[in-house]
A and B are shown apart, each in its own frame.
Chain A
Amino acid sequence: MASGDIDVAYVAKLARIALNPGEIEKFGAQLGALLEHVAALEKLPTADVAATAQVVPSVNVMRDDAVVPSLARETVLAGAPQREGSYFRVPRILAEE
Chain B
Amino acid sequence: MSGLLDGAASEIARAVNARESSAAELVDAALARVGERDAAIGAYLTVADDLARDRAKRVDARIAAGESLPLAGVPLAVKDNMCLEGTRTTCASKILENWIAPYTGTALRRLLDAGAIPIGKTNLDEFAMGSSCENSALGVTRNPWDLGRVPGGSSGGSVAAVASGTAPIALGSDTGGSIREPAAFCGVVGFKPTYGRVSRYGLIAFASSLDQIGPIGRSVGDCALVYAAMAGVDPCDATTVDRQVEPVAARPREDLKGTRVGIVREFALGALDDGVRSVYETAYRDLEKLGAELVEVELPTADYGVATYYLIAPAECSSNLARFDGMRYGLRVEGPDVGATYELTRAAGFGDEVKRRILIGTYALSSGYYDAYYVRAQKARTLIAGDFARAFERCDVIACPAASSPAFEFNAKSDPVSMYLMDYYTIPMSLAGLPSLSVPCGYLTPNGSANPLPLGLELTAPLFADAALLGVAGAYERATKHSARHAPAAAP
Residues of A within 8 A of B (CB): 1, 6, 8, 11-12, 14-19, 23, 27, 30-31, 33-34, 37-42, 44, 46, 49-56, 58, 61, 63, 71, 75-76, 78-82, 88, 90-93
A83 to B360 CA separation, bound complex (whole angstroms): 34
Interchain CB contact under 8 A, A55 and B385: yes
Nearest CB in chain B to that of A30: its residue: B416
Residues of B within 8 A of A (CB): 99-100, 102-103, 194-196, 209, 235, 238-239, 241, 301, 304, 306-308, 310-311, 318, 322, 325-332, 334-335, 337-344, 346-347, 350, 355-356, 358-360, 362-363, 366, 372-373, 375-383, 385, 415-417, 420, 431-433, 463
Interchain CB contact under 8 A, B307 and A38: yes
A79 to B327 CA separation, bound complex (whole angstroms): 10
A50 vs chain B, min Cβ distance (A): 6
Interchain CB contact under 8 A, A38 and B342: no
Of B310, B375, B379, which is in contact with the most chain A CB atoms at under 10 Å from its CB? Answer: B379
A33 to B443 CA separation, bound complex (whole angstroms): 34
Q: A38-B311, A46-B383, A51-B378 are in contact. Are A17 and B331 (CB under 8 A)?
A: no
A53 to B385 CA separation, bound complex (whole angstroms): 12
A14 vs chain B, min Cβ distance (A): 5
B107 vs chain A, min Cβ distance (A): 17
Of A38, A71, A76, which is in contact with the most chain B CB atoms at under 10 Å from its CB? Answer: A38
Which residues does chain A contribute within 8 Å of B385, judged by CB atoms?
Answer: 52, 55
A53 to B195 CA separation, bound complex (whole angstroms): 13
Interchain CB contact under 8 A, A88 and B334: no
Nearest CB in chain A to that of B326: its residue: A81
15 additional A-B residue pairs with CB within 8 Å, beyond A34-B360, A46-B376: A14-B366, A15-B346, A15-B358, A18-B346, A30-B356, A41-B308, A41-B377, A44-B379, A51-B381, A52-B378, A52-B385, A54-B433, A75-B102, A91-B337, A93-B338
Interchain CB contact under 8 A, A37 and B310: yes
Which residues does chain A contribute within 8 Å of B378, judged by CB atoms?
Answer: 51-53
Which residues does chain A contribute within 8 Å of B322, judged by CB atoms?
Answer: 16
Which residues does chain A contribute within 8 Å of B340, judged by CB atoms?
Answer: 18
Interchain CB contact under 8 A, B372 and A79: no
Nearest CB in chain A to that of B431: its residue: A55
Which residues does chain A contribute within 8 Å of B328, judged by CB atoms?
Answer: 79-81, 88
A28 vs chain B, min Cβ distance (A): 9
Interchain CB contact under 8 A, A15 and B383: no
Pick from B196, B325, B363: contact of A11, CB under 8 Å:
B363
Interchain CB contact under 8 A, A90 and B417: no
Interchain CB contact under 8 A, A37 and B334: no
A10 vs chain B, min Cβ distance (A): 9
Pick from A55, A58, A63, A80: contact of B235, CB under 8 Å:
A63
A82 to B334 CA separation, bound complex (whole angstroms): 11
Which residues does chain A contribute within 8 Å of B350, judged by CB atoms?
Answer: 17
Which residues does chain B contribute within 8 Å of A90, judged by CB atoms?
Answer: 327, 338
